[in-house]
Structure 1
Amino acid sequence: MTYQPTPIHDHLPERLTITLWDFSWYTRTGPGEPFEDLDRAFQEAVDRGYNTIRICAMPFLLFGSGLDTSAASFGPLGGDYAQGTRWYDVRHRVTLDARAHLVALFEAARRHEVFVIVSSWEYQQSSSFYGDRSWFDALMAVEPRDRAAALAHAQADLYEFLAERGLHDRVAFVELHNEVQYGLLTGGLEPVGTDLVVPLEKRLTAALDVFHERLPQVPVTVNYARVPVDAMRGIPHNIDVAVFHPYVYGVLGELADRLALRDEKRFSTERTRPFLRPGAPAYEDWQPPAEDLWRKEATIVGKPEIYVHDWCDPEVWDRYLYEHHALHHSAMLVKLDLWTDAARDFSLGRGVPLVFGEGWIGYTPLNTWYEEGPVGKEIHRAAARKARAISAWGSVVTSNAAPHHPMWTEIDIQVECNDIFGNGSPGD
């Protein structure tokens, strides 16, 4: 029997212009931090042309862990570790009533007429910012085969919690988890080729069924890093939205591979030294304090990547990317077209709307400026035009366009790209 997708609710915008608030809306709430004042953050988002935020709503922590979250602590990974790493540069440790903070976020979203894509990063890194390892241990206590279903129950509980308070109309749709093939949902599975999209399918399909059985009128899905053009058969048949993260990397991928940022066995300090600032510590010495070492287990970002992002010289990094960009420029644009066209074809075949929840270039060190500079901006414009041309329902300007990233100060490009995607101008 063919699955009939749950329709998108009529009150939602024709197009979702998305800014990625991830887990930062609760980890970055200290003095002077970007989410200290939620109303200010929402107003700044609206001023830049956004009508939707995408968040880790910490569903498992709030509704699956069994922990008392009335005084939940969130903060850095310890010492200066990861303070130069994008998304990890949390400056202060704060204590929040986590459920009350969730309610406050949705109440602010209503005041500013913004919608929320409810997701989870919990099996990737959210728990690494917690005051102790209890959240991480609770996540790990769930058998890998049962983790997606546990998230489905937690997300359904979260939605019902919001509905009891009349805030569920802010939910655009629910994602069980972020980038399901890259994280701790895959335990015990063997890759098919180099990917886990196909092996994950049964777990995810069953979990989506759990959510559908509890909340049949609420659109739910999972999302994927990249557009898995070689494994689309592994995407569950019972999704209600097709969500992909088309990071094309290109020259950034060349540099990451050259430095072995995601391969600790190949990583070499000798190879990375020309990219580091003077005074960089030895790789072996760059760790969180002893009491915080467990936090490295709780994040999928590996030590080589954090070390280089923390200590790279931004000018050297960006200069390398600019000097080598021309060799990759055409291929990056071809990949962008190929992946977005494949995503469109998939969504049409399934009869579900298409959303690009992250993109477009890749994971850059916090203080570098390649993706935020003139080359990156032109790729963002191309992506906005493409997303509009293929009638995507939702799209980001770029993953770096959010209050906790330096690019938030680049207002004009955000307004421009949101206008291109949302209104079809200029260049339509």
Structure 2
Amino acid sequence: MTTPLTGPVPSHLPPRLTITLWDFSWYTRAEPGGPFEDLDAACAEAAALGYNTIRICAAPLLLHGALDHAGEPIAHSARELEIEGLGASTGLGRYGQRTRWYDAPGGYTIDVGARLIALFDAAERHGLVVVLASWEYQQSPAFARSPAWFEAIHAVPLHERYAVLAAAWSRLIDELTAAGHRSRIALVELHNEVDFSLLAPLEEGGAEAVTSLREEHPDLLFTASYGKPPHLAMHQLPEGLAAAQFHVYSYGVLDALQRLVDIRSEGSSDFPNAALQGFLRPDAPTPAEYGRAAEWKYRATVVTDQMIYGYDWLDADAWDTWLYDNYGAYREVMLREIESRVIAVAEWARWKQVPAVVGEGWIGYTPLHGTFEEGPVGRALAEHGIATALSHGVWGVVLCSNAAPHHPMWRDREWQLRLNAQILAA
């Protein structure tokens, strides 16, 4: 059973969006042989799997907004952006090598602006639309070899960052329009997960920035996304959002394990604690032996050094086994959390008469080679979230945050084809 959409969408866009999350990886994982080396092939495969939408970091500040210490635009850096990833540990591989998103090997230079146009060209060839966002105050600059990008945007006073983002977006949209791709823009997010980024609360200038963009480009949808929207008090959200693009994660059993091993903290005196030591691979070095990435990279991202070390050196099978063994105690609450949060987002959107999108979900941040979210439990939770979204008029939905070319889940073709068909049939 489905219901009408929570709010109207532009007539030239698909009646439902089925989204694959490419984030910043479409330019940070473009190494030779990497998942995004060939953008046309990546878009072709997404379309073949039934997707009609990709969601990306378009790096608006890098391309059109940030200034260096001398007050000059850093757009010249975008033309020859050297991708490094988190860097190498002497003799022990690369930092982030067994994490999701942070496993970028780097070692190449890229023209981000030209690549953005190439991505839109490929999307047009394969019938895809694009959700534009920025991860720049959350993660993206950490993958560059130079700190110049991070330093430039970090130098912007906190209370001015939303306005600078809005101006950069307007210039980027003009560039895409000149390239003939305006109609391929499904949605523009001022920034990804404003509540988990180096930004002020959205009501402190962000909502006004969204409104100004809507007035300047009335034919496009503008919003901002939350990593954890206020599900119990959605009325607290500021006015002006033209879409409800919120993320629905239910960490549940995963959160219990992360707390047990103290893997998301930083500066813990007993790290790795006894519980985490029980999950480490036999060949794991000590944190001191492994070392750390460049200090500025941790300031440029939300992931801690403890999580990088832990995910790089834990035994993924042991990690998954603990999750399966303990999932039963959390099953009902995780199902209820996903359902209630999707409904809260949808009903807020219906109240505001705007389209609703679940751009990320469903469990949380897992090790690269962990399979709990990709396995039967994770797929069942995802299917529950998708079914709830469709039955409450949500316009766009991600199958799973891990269903993308840079994750192992991309190889599960049958499941993606089946779920995408269900979404599009709705």
Q: TM-score range by the shorter chain?
A: over 0.9
**Deviation readout 1:124-157 (Å, 9 max, x if unpaired):** 0100011201000111110011111111111111
Match among 234, 252, 259 for residue 261 of structure 2? 259
SS in 2 for 1:224: coil
3-state secondary structure, aligned to 1:341: helix
Deviations 1:212-236 (A, max 9, x none): 2432332100011133214423322
Structure 1 unaligned runs (5+)? Answer: 187-198
Matched, 1:280 2:281: no
Aligned partner of 2:147 in structure 1 is 133
2:340 & 2:383 partners in 1: Cα distance?
Answer: 17
1:217 aligns with 219
**What are the within-5 Å matches in structure 2 for residues 237-386 of structure 1?**
237-266=239-268, 268-269=271-272, 270-288=274-292, 292-386=294-388
Q: Aligned-pair distance for 1:121?
A: 0.3
State whether residues 6 and 218 of structure 1, in contact with CA within 8 Å, keep that contact through their aligned partners in structure 2: no
Q: 2:84 aligns with which of 72, 75, 80?
A: 75
Deviation of residue 265 (structure 1)? 4.9
Structure 1 equivalent of residue 418 of structure 2: 416
Residue 9 of structure 1 and its aligned partner are, at CA, apart by: 1.9
Judged with a 3 Å threshold, the aligned counterparts in structure 2 of structure 1 residues 138 and 234 are, in CA distance, closer, same or farther, namely: farther
Q: Counterparts in 2 of 1:392-411, with a 5 A limit?
A: 392-411=394-413
CA distance in structure 2 between the partners assigned to 1:56 and 1:276 by the alignment? 33
Look up the equivalent residue of 2:287 and give its one-letter code. Answer: Y
Q: Contact 1:103–1:162 (CA<8 Å) still a contact in 2?
A: yes
8 Å CA contact retained: 1:179, 1:224: yes
Q: Are the aligned partners of 1:77 and 1:128 in contact in 2 as well (CA < 8 Å)?
A: yes
1:63-107 Cα distance to aligned partner (Å, 9 max, x none): 012110221212321011111110011123221222111110000
Once residues 9 and 30 of structure 1 are traced to their aligned partners in structure 2, the CA distance between those partners, rounded to angstroms, is: 36
Q: CA deviation at 1:261?
A: 2.2
AA in 1 matched with 2:85? P
C-alpha distance in structure 1 between counterparts of 2:326 and 2:283, whole Å: 27
Q: Secondary structure at the match of 1:9?
A: coil
Q: Quick one: structure 1 residues 330 and 7, their matched pair in 2 at CA, closer, same or farther if it must change by over 3 Å?
A: closer
Q: Could you tell me whether the CA contact under 8 Å between 2:85 and 2:145 is conserved in 1? A: no
Letter of the structure 2 residue corresponding to residue 335 of structure 1: E
TM-score (norm 1): 0.92
Moved more, 253-262 or 170-179: 253-262
Aligned AA for 1:126?
Answer: S
Counterpart pick for 1:99 among 101, 113, 118: 113
Any conservation in 2 of the 1:353–1:393 contact (CA below 8 Å)? yes
Kindly provide the amino acid, as one letter, of the partner of residue 219 in structure 2. Q
Q: 1:210 to 1:83 in 2, by over 3 A?
A: same
- Structure 1 residue aligned with 2:164, among 146, 150, 158? 150
Contact residue 83 and residue 90 of structure 1 kept, 8 A? yes
Q: Aligned residues, how many? A: 406
Q: Are 2:374 and 2:409, in contact at CA under 8 Å, matched by a contact in 1?
A: yes
- Confirm or deny that 1:111 pairs with 2:115: no
Q: For 2:290 and 2:242, how far apart are their aligned partners in 1?
A: 43
Q: Is the 8 A contact 1:7 1:219 kept in 2?
A: no
Secondary structure (helix, strand or coil) at the match of 1:334 reads helix
Q: State the 1:259 CA deviation.
A: 1.8
Which amino acid is 2:82 matched to? S
Return the alpha-carbon distance in structure 2 between the equivalents of residues 283 and 20 of structure 1: 31
* Deviation at residue 395 of structure 1 after TM alignment: 0.2
Identify which range, 67-76 or 132-141, moves more after superposition. Answer: 67-76
- 222-231 vs 23-32, greater mean Cα deviation: 222-231
Q: Which runs of 5+ in 2 are unaligned?
A: 1-5, 67-72, 89-93
Question: Which of 151, 175, 182 is 1:168 aligned to?
Answer: 182
- Measure, in 2, the Cα distance between the counterparts of 1:341 and 1:90: 36
Asked if 2 retains the 8 angstrom alpha-carbon contact of 1:366 and 1:405, the reply is yes
1:31·1:92 contact (CA, 8 Å) conserved in 2? Answer: no
SS at match of 1:326: helix
| In structure 2, distance between residues paired with 1:364 and 1:126 | 19
CA distance in 1 between counterparts of 2:291 and 2:197 reads: 22
Residue aligned with 1:240, SS: coil
TM-score (norm. length: structure 2): 0.92
In the alignment, what sits opposite 2:36? Answer: 35
Residues 416 and 7 from structure 1, CA distance in 2 versus in 1: closer, same or farther, beyond 3 angstroms?
A: closer
Deviation at 1:382, TM superposition (A): 1.5
Partner of 2:3: none
Q: Which residue of 2 aligns with 1:227?
A: 229
Q: Deviations over 1:26-50 (max 9, x none)?
A: 0111111000111110111111110
Aligned residue in 1 for 2:70 = none
Deviations 1:234-290 (A, max 9, x none): 32210100011101111111111212222225563123101111121222443345x
- Structure 1 stretch displaced more, 295-304 or 132-141: 295-304
Residue aligning to 1:10: 11
Q: Distance in 2 between matches of 1:309 and 1:31?
A: 25
AA of the residue aligned to 2:30:
T
Taking every aligned residue pair, what percent have the same amino acid on both sides? 43
Structure-2 change in CA distance of 1:416 and 1:6 (3 Å)? closer
Number of the residue aligned with 1:54 = 55
Q: Which amino acid aligns with 2:286?
A: A
How many Å separate the matches in 1 of 2:267 and 2:323?
24
* Residues in 1 aligned to 2:236 and 2:63: alpha-carbon distance in whole angstroms: 30
Q: Match for residue 23 of structure 2? A: 22
